[in-house]
Amino acid sequence: MPAVEAVVRTLLEATVPMAYCHGSSHAMVYNDRFAGVLGPKHPSAWGQRATSVHHELWTRPGLDTVLDEVFAGGSPVHDDGDTPGLNRRQNLVRDEVHFVGSYSAVRDGDGSILGVLVIAVEITSAAHGIEAVIDLVTALASAVSVDDVATTALQHAVSTLGCETASICLGGGEEGGWRVASRRETELWDEAAARLPLIWSNLRAGARSPEVAVAESGQPYVSGSGVELILPMRGHEVAGSMGYLGMQRHLSDARMVVLKASALLVADAMARALQYEARRGAAELLQRTLLPQVLPLVPGVTLAGRYQPVTTATAAGGDFYDCFTLPDGRLAVTVGDVMGRGVAAVTVMGQVRAGMRGAALTNSDPNAVFTALDELVGSLDVSRPAVVVDGQSSPYAGASGFGGELFVTALFGILDPATGELVLASAGHLPPAVALRRTEPNGPGDPGRRAEFAPVEPGPPLGIPGHRPVLRIVLEEGDALVAFTDGLLEPHKRSLAQGLESLLRTLSLMASTDPRRICQHLLDELVGPNGLEDDCALLVLLRDSVVHRVASVLVPPHAGAVRGSRLWVREQLESWGLGEEVTAAAVMGVSELVTNVVLHAGTPAMVSLELDGRLLVTVDDTGERGAPHRQTGEGVAVSRGRGLALVEAISDSMGHERGVNGSTVWFEIELDDRAVEPVPDL
């Protein structure tokens, strides 16, 4: 048949993958290019039925009859793309190889259809580009803060787009300047590095760089060799650029479309993050300003408090905790919750907390304190007017965040550190948990603790006058009191009863008695990775006999001061009687963290030491954090990862906390009797 011979001759000479399927059985012959499409199925596929060779495709709806339809009717068919399940390119981000196919009838001289000509065009690169954009959209959907967006974008550029180095340049740094974050393929990126905030490098005033030039002009930059690309990120009040280094030498139009789309997506996500951080920062600053900045140091007692806001909220809540000493040496502790969110809820929280302090200093009896607060809350509630809605009086919702009706709960207690006697009363608040230290564990793996809720009977919430029964218990040495608000117990559809049960179980299984660790462990176990649905406040009080020692120093933001911080830490720890092994480890950790702050945050570093059975070291800065600016060779990005790994290796635990005023990085070293030589208090 001349028509068949002509088609076969054409496909054998063609430079694109082509196959001819003859007759109603669709026996297939093909050229060398199509053999590459078949992969390991060649050469056994020669002369076989096409539907048998590509059985994984022909079982899909719409494709199972395409050859029959073209053979029967003669109308050509063009599909949108298939993945024959091949894995012949190990350098691709995805394993699949994508093709689009065209199916045309081959006719004899009299017009009868002899077979079907198949032309396959590989679109793997374009398909992977689309998948990469979809992946970025998915990842950015859960990125809330500026650091989240930057980390997601940089990680995507390196791991998915195959860049050697990626950077983000963003306006709004110190004094209106520019700041840069970057991520390098060779950078050590382990769990320790991922837990820490990024380090944003602030560019010097007047400093020029390709990233800044692109951000200001809005015009992309491509190096002559094509291996470096910088794209503008502009719009929605965002001025910045996204840089890619180590690209392929020829940037195809399809790849440029993917990269430009990625930069636009990052710009939109960054705009949302900037708005979120501005609103959340103001709310968090207001909230934290009204909470105690430091907890009192009381002999025989160790304290820790945490306020944990909702991850995605931009309005502050009314949860609070407080602890303060009374004139007679006893310790007052409290947690409470003002229903609602927003400025009004936080304002009421601050007034209630201040009123509680004033009332307790006058008369520390719990019922006397609550009676005074009843009057305060009642006066605040009455001051909110009512309006008429549909002919009926209704509380004025306005901007209060709680509808004009105050609902405030609180737990109040007085502890005598000398005897351990604790007096508790509740104004509608959940009872605290008491973790009791037993002298003998029940068996292997038992930490020797038992947790139970203090049997305090709740009275009416604040603002509703009434009697609140008083409970008296004794905390023995090693016992811990854990007071909390309900946001800790009810994340993600878990009932209150389930939350209470989980709290007791978690406390019973904890071996650590350190209040700071108890706080963190409870948040990790009860909240988990999904975050909170409501703010929570947490206060842990441990009765012990450990002597507390605290010292702090402010390190100026220049490299020469790092040596001074090391000398100060060594001198301080030696004066406390710590051995050389612990002292050397702490000095090494402080040196790494202070260097990080001085080089990248560019602000003073506050170094604090706390000794109370374990050594806690914290390093605070007031700067903006992110990945370091691009370096050559073994740059700061690499050394930063190794430095963090070193700090983690020399410590028993480490972590960070990000606040509106900067970041805190901390690590702890457990001590045994040999690590500390008793030093008398002066």
| Residue 658: φ, ψ to 5° | -105, 125
Residues in the chain: 682
* CA–CA distances in Å: residue 397 to residues 174, 224, 387, 394: 40, 62, 9, 9
The three-state (H, E, C) secondary structure of 450-505, written as one string: EEEECCCCEECCECCCCCCCCEEEECCCCCEEEEECHHHCCCCCCCHHHHHHHHHH
Which of 152-161, 337-346, 670-679 comes out lowest in average pLDDT? 670-679
**Listed residue (231, 202, 182, 152) closest to 629, CA to CA:** 182
The three-state (H, E, C) secondary structure of 116-143, written as one string: EEEEEEECHHHHHHHHHHHHHHHHHHCC
pLDDT in tens, 183-200: 888 776 655 555 566 777
Contacts of 682 (CB under 8 A, 6+ apart): none
What is the mean predicted confidence (pLDDT) over 571-584? 91
- Is the pLDDT at 528 greater than 70, yes or no? no
Q: What is the pTM of this model?
A: 0.55
SS3 326: coil
- Is the pLDDT at 95 greater than 60, yes or no? no
Which of 8-12, 276-280, 357-361 comes out lowest in average pLDDT? 276-280
Which of 204-208, 382-386, 524-528, 657-661 comes out lowest in average pLDDT? 382-386
- Is the pLDDT at 384 greater than 80, yes or no? no
Strands (E), 622-679: 653-659, 662-670
| Token code pair at residue 52 | 């048998």
Q: What angle do CA 200, 595, 277 make, to 5 degrees?
A: 30
pLDDT class for 434, splitting at 50, 70, 90?
very high
Contacts of 56 (CB under 8 A, 6+ apart): 84, 85
582 contacts 669 by C-beta, under 8 angstroms: yes
309 contacts 287 by C-beta, under 8 angstroms: yes
Q: How far apart are the C-alpha atoms of 295 and 540, rounded to whole Å?
A: 11
Q: How far apart are the C-alpha atoms of 173 and 624, rounded to whole Å?
A: 8
What is the mean predicted confidence (pLDDT) over 233-261? 76
- Is the pLDDT at 479 greater than 80, yes or no? yes
Please give the pLDDT value at position 681: 47
pLDDT class for 359, splitting at 50, 70, 90?
very high
Q: How far apart are the C-alpha atoms of 379 and 27, rounded to whole Å?
A: 90
Output the average pLDDT for the chain: 78
Please give the pLDDT value at position 635: 37
- Is the pLDDT at 89 greater than 70, yes or no? no
Share of the chain above pLDDT 70, in %: 73
Amino acid at 340: G
| Token code pair at residue 194 | 């991922």
Please give the pLDDT value at position 540: 94
